[in-house]
């Protein structure tokens, strides 16, 4: 096997890690948006207040999702480079 090429196991590990990162990022973003939506329902908000809370929830969810995705992939890359 060539030293410069990744083994099948390494490719599979990368694929699993990418899917894990995507799924956990989507779940985190969804949970944050759901909390914002629940807040709107519990506080019985309407109009611009409702829209503001939902937009803030969507933005926070998106930022948290991207943060989670990047964090997981960077951690995996660091461990891969260390040989773990």
Q: DSSP secondary structure string, 24-80?
A: HHHHHHHHHHHHHHHHHHHHT--THHHHHHHHHHHHHHHHHHHHHHHHHHHHHHHHH
- Asked if 21 contacts 65 with a C-beta cutoff of 8 angstroms, the reply is no
pLDDT (tens digit per residue) in 59-81: 999 999 999 999 999 999 898 88
CA distance 25 to 10: 22
pLDDT per residue over 17-60, tens digit each? 999 999 999 999 999 999 999 999 999 999 999 999 999 999 99
Question: DSSP character for 5?
Answer: S
């Amino acid at each position: 096997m060539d030293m410069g090429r990744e083994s099948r196991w390494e490719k599979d590990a990368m694929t699993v890690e990418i899917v894990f990162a995507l799924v956990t990022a989507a779940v985190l973003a969804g949970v944050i948006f759901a909390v914002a939506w629940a807040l709107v329902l519990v506080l019985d908000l309407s109009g611009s207040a409702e829209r503001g809370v939902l937009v803030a929830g969507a933005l926070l969810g998106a930022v948290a999702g991207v943060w989670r995705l990047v964090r997981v992939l960077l951690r995996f890359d660091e461990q891969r480079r260390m040989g773990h």
